[in-house]
Amino acid sequence: MIGVVSLGNQGFALCSYLLSKGYRLIPYTSNVENLKIKKIISTGKIEGEYEFCPTINLEDVLNADIIFITSITTAYSDIANKIVEYSKKIDFSKKIFVLFSGKLGGVLVFNKVFVDNGIVTNIVETDAIFASRKVSMDTVWVRGIKRWNLLISNKDYLGSDKSLEIYRIVRNIFDDIHLDIADNFIQRGLTDFGAMAHATISLINMANIDSKKDLLFYIDGITPNTVKLIEDVYYEFNSVAKIFGTSIIHPIELLDRYYGTVKTSLLDAIKNVPNYKYTKMPDSIYNRFLYEDVLNTLYPLTLLAKLKNVDLVLVPSIVNIMCSVLGIEKEKYGRTLDKMNFFCKEKVFI
């Protein structure tokens, strides 16, 4: 039995994927309206109709052996705190929680709640695998599936142990997707094209977003100059990764591994990703393209760089501008080293 917590775009896509492979699911929702859904209709890369029986009882989901967390990453601490309330009823030591889009250090944020409560469990982090959109209450359009990604766990986030059984279990579920083990949580978290591109493209297209222009984000929203900035962001990502004993593949190679694309240039690579031809420009700056990537990848990256005396220029500028526009206090709402429980391991890295 597999549990799925949160039924947004990723949650519905994941459920349709798992159901298409014959897995038994128990999905959790906090929205009572979702209890009316009796089947999922999936279109695009996953075609089919699947019986569906969500629950509003979190304890039922936590009795599953593997529990996927598909919520927005800013909700990780709140969800983990709700889960640990059941620690007297449920033995979490054999459970596997899979964070489906951890951003930078998501596995540490989620794990900290368990550590603070003296609970041992298993947590694996990967990126969101599906490019998907709910088009109605019971219908999800899966327009793209990443063919490759990285994993890291709370057991070896400082330096991976590829022999861990939890990796074998997760990889077996996604037997048609190539999941490699990251060197550490830095490589896992920074191997993320969205984190390099979302805020960068949005910043350049602020007027188009505010004007609610009907444009395609990755087609109309980029130019050779935009791509230059994305590449510069990548080089700053990689400069921090190298200090932590790893590296990040170039975004051209990353997009090709994700979806398959041409490799003549980054501009060509972006414009030839099949599912990017459908991605609309956001109609508001208050969207996931900005909020999650800025607070949960770009901002903690600046803190890690400062910790290791790496001089970043572009990424801190993007963070400061976006937080100013969004009216967000990054120190309060962003992913800090303290929220990742990173200080207790600081000497290991240094």
For the chain, the structural domain boundaries read 2-189, 192-349
State how far the Cα of 150 lies from the Cα of 126, in Å rounded to an integer. Answer: 6
| pLDDT (mean) for 272-297 | 91
Residues 231-249 have a mean pLDDT of 98
Residue 131, beta-bridge partner list: 144
pLDDT of 276 above 80 = yes
pLDDT at 344 over 50: no
Q: In Å, what is the CA distance from 86 to each residue of 2, 57, 59, 235?
A: 18, 12, 7, 43
Residues in Cβ contact with 217 at an 8 Å cutoff, skipping those fewer than 6 apart: 201, 205, 276, 279, 280, 281, 282, 289
Q: In the predicted model, what is the mean pLDDT of residues 333-349?
A: 75
Burial of 264 (0-12, 13-18, 19+ CB in 10 A): exposed
Q: What is the rounded distance in angstroms from the CA atom of residue 301 to the CA atom of residue 205?
A: 23
Q: How far apart are the first and last CA of the chain?
A: 41
Question: Is pLDDT at 350 greater than 70 in this prediction?
Answer: no
Q: How far apart are CA 252 and CA 258, in angstroms?
A: 10
Residue in the block written with tokens 């400061």: 320
Taken in order 58, 64, 70, 75, is the CA torsion positive or negative?
A: positive
Q: How many residues comprise the chain?
A: 350
Do 2-189 and 192-349 share a fold? no
d(CA 80, CA 78): 6
Euclidean distance between CA atoms 122 and 97, whole angstroms: 6
Spatial distance between the Cα atoms of 151 and 183, rounded to a whole number of angstroms = 9
272 contact partners, CB below 8 Å, separation of at least 6: 261, 262
In the structure encoding, which two tokens stand for residue 181, read together? 């083990």
Q: Is the pLDDT of residue 347 over 60?
A: no
- Does 262 or 289 have the greater pLDDT score? 262
The pLDDT value recorded for residue 348 is: 44
Residue 101: band (very low, low, confident or very high) from pLDDT cuts 50, 70, 90: confident
Q: How confident is the model at residue 346 (pLDDT cuts 50, 70, 90)?
A: very low
* pLDDT value at residue 287: 84
* Range 207-221 average pLDDT: 95
Query: Could you tell me what percent of the chain has a pLDDT over 70?
Result: 97
Q: Which fold has domain 2-189?
A: Rossmann fold (3.40.50)
Q: Does position 124 have pLDDT exceeding 70, yes or no? A: yes
Checking DSSP bridges between strand 139-145 and strand 39-44, what pairing results, if any?
Answer: parallel
Three-class DSSP labels, the chain: CEEEECCCHHHHHHHHHHHHCCCCEEEECCCHHHHHCCEEEEEECCCEEEECCCECCHHHHHCCCEEEECCCHHHHHHHHHHHHCCCCCCCHHHCEEEEECCCCCHHHHHHHHHHHCCCCCEEEEECCCEEEEEEECCEEEEEEECCEEEEEECCCCCCCCCCCHHHHHHHHHCCCCEEEECCCHHHHHHCCHHHHHHHHHHHHCHHHHHCCCCCECCCCCCCHHHHHHHHHHHHHHHHHHHHCCCCCCCHHHHHHHHCCCCCCCHHHHHHCCHHHHHCECCCCCCCHHHHHHHHHHHHHHHHHHHHCCCCCCHHHHHHHHHHHHHCCCHHHHCCCCCCCCCHHHHHHHC
CATH architecture group of domain 192-349: Orthogonal Bundle (1.10)
